[in-house]
Each structure stands twice: as structure tokens, then as C-alpha cells.
Amino acid sequence: MKRLSTIIFICFWFVVNQAWSAEDWYMKSSGQLLVKNYSSSSQLENLFGFGVFLNGDYLERGGFSIGYNFNQTNYKSGLISGLKENNENILFLSGRANFNPDQIPGRLTLRLDGYVGDDATSFLVTVPTPGPMGGGSSQKTITVDDEFAVVSPMVSFLNYAKTFYADLGYAYSSYRSDDSGTDDINVSQWTPTLGFGFNQAYDWLQLRGYFIDLSTSNRVDTKETTSALEVKWTHWFSADAPLNLHNIRLTVITGERLYAVDSDACSLCNVPDLQTGLVSIGAEWKLNEQTNVLLQGGYESYEDMLLDEQYSSTYLYGYLSRNW
């Protein structure tokens, strides 16, 4: 785990420090909130999360991103397993470099993302206490900690007219637990992507495939290979749109994903349950020349293979960004 984390940091700094000076940087800071409620799950109750990000772009040559996400998942009370809550911390680092070769009609981008963090799951357990008449019992909280690291390189192409986009991404994830009863797991993911602009650049359609392979582990029972298709449509409005509406977006995911890495949202799905579908819709407003706000709601379906049950979640996501 330490070796993989070191590789992530070394590669990140190599990409960011490619002969860029300290001037002519364009910076953007952002914050996000996530509230999620689970339905038909025998264990999961709700989730609350927040994150902060800083992005820097150096003219057209490249840039970097750094971010932090925290998610707290609450379990239903009174579970026999004693599950109480899960606290997740994720540090995100990304560097990118742009190239404009004369041989191709567009821009190539090399990007490297890295994630490091931990999942701390709390259990409420009953322990015997000595005393007269056989003693008694008391409850205490114990915590099982997972550490993880993800490295994700990507190469992408965007033509000069901004009507065609393609990329190929790869992610290698490593999860290590201090619980002797839980197996470690390694995950490999490939994500080929195509994007098309149309309607005089007011609309964008993106198709991304997820092909994920997992090492054998008691975390996910027997499901070791998954695939899914993600379809995203975005429509932009003219400057005189009502309420300063900047764009609307629709996302649909069909198929199955496990431990997916989302390079657009810069997020990880660390829940060891099978995601079997997603539908979300969002709207973004341009408050002024520097500030944007996004609101998005969605529905997700899952399958817990260890418990052999299906459940769903509804969520609300908010995002505020400012250029400076």
C-alpha cells in the first residue's frame, strides 16, 4: 500500500512540473455536498458527504487538481452484526499535460489521477464485565479500518472544432483491511469513451464503457467481472436563458459496476455492492462571470450479493465553484 501511494505522488509531481512557470495560471475552487437515502436495504440508512477541490490551468499547456472528500454512511440501529457507521476519507491528486502535434487535427492530453484514503467502519459490540453473580455486560465501539490507493492514467483526444472526443482510461485500485477475516482486493478497470458535439455546440453526448475485473475476495462473493455503459447528455443555453440557466444534464448507467472509478466526478465507489443502474438529472446556473452552482438529483439501484438482497438509493448533490 505504501509503495503504491508513493508511486502516485511521484507520477503526479512529474506531470505537474513539466517546465511550467508560476505565472499565467487560471484557478478554480469548488465545494460540494451529497445527501443520500437508502430504501429496501436491511442495513443501510443514509449517507452524508462533502468535498473541496482546487483546480489550476496553465494557459493551454496543462494543469492540476487537488481535492478532499469525506463521506459518512449510517447503518440502521439494532443490527445483529453491530454495524454503526462508516467514515471515508479520500485525498485526490491529478496532473495533466496538453500537446498539439502537427500530425493530428486536435489536442492530445495525458492525465494521471491518484486517490489515497481510508474507510473506517464502526461496530457496537457487547462485552462481558466481571462482577458478583456472574457479572454483567457492557457495550463498546470497535473500528475496522480499510486503506486504499488508486492510480488512474488516461490519454484523450479533442478535435479543434470540439465536436469529437475520445479517451482511454485505466485504473488500478488496491484495498487492504486490518480485519483478518476480510480479504484484500485488487481491482483493474478500463474505460473507453467517445463524445460528440452537435446542434452548433449546444449539445454534447458522451458514451463511456466500464470493464472491471476484481481479484478473488470474500468482499464480493463470486462476482469478479462486471461491465456497464454510461450515457451522458448535456445541453447548454445561450447567455439570455431564463434564470441564468447555463446547462442541463442527464446521465444513465446500465449494466453492472463494482468498485468503479469515475474520472469525470473524480470519485470512487467503495461500497462492495453491485451497482445495477443509475439515472440522474441536473441543472447548472451561472450566477456571475466567476461563480457557478449545480444541483443534481438521482436514483441508483444496487444488489448486496453477500446478503442476496436488492436495494436502491435517492440522492441530492450540490456543487459551487468560483474562478479566481
| Cβ 42 vs Cβ 76: under 8 Å | yes
Return the number of other C-beta atoms located less than 10 Å from residue 285's C-beta.
16
Percent of the chain with pLDDT over 90: 65
What's the chain's Rg over C-alpha atoms? Answer: 22
Is residue 133 exposed (0-12), middle (13-18) or buried (19+ Cβ within 10 Å)?
A: exposed
Q: Kind and range of the H or E element at 228?
A: strand 225-236
Residue 18 has pLDDT above 60, yes or no: no
Residue of higher predicted confidence among 127 and 91? 91
State how far the Cα of 25 lies from the Cα of 324, in Å rounded to an integer.
Answer: 10
State how far the Cα of 86 lies from the Cα of 290, in Å rounded to an integer.
Answer: 36
Q: Which residue ranges form the domains of the chain, and what is each CATH number?
A: 2-19+27-323 (2.40.160.40)
**Predicted pLDDT at 19:** 45
User: For residue 108, what are the contacts with CB-CB under 8 A and spacing of at least 6?
Assistant: 98, 99, 100, 101, 155, 156, 157
| Cβ 226 vs Cβ 190: under 8 Å | no
Confidence of residue 59 (pLDDT cuts 50, 70, 90): confident
Residue 11 has pLDDT above 60, yes or no: no
What are the pLDDT digits (tens) for 65-107? 999 999 999 999 888 788 889 999 999 999 999 999 988 999 9
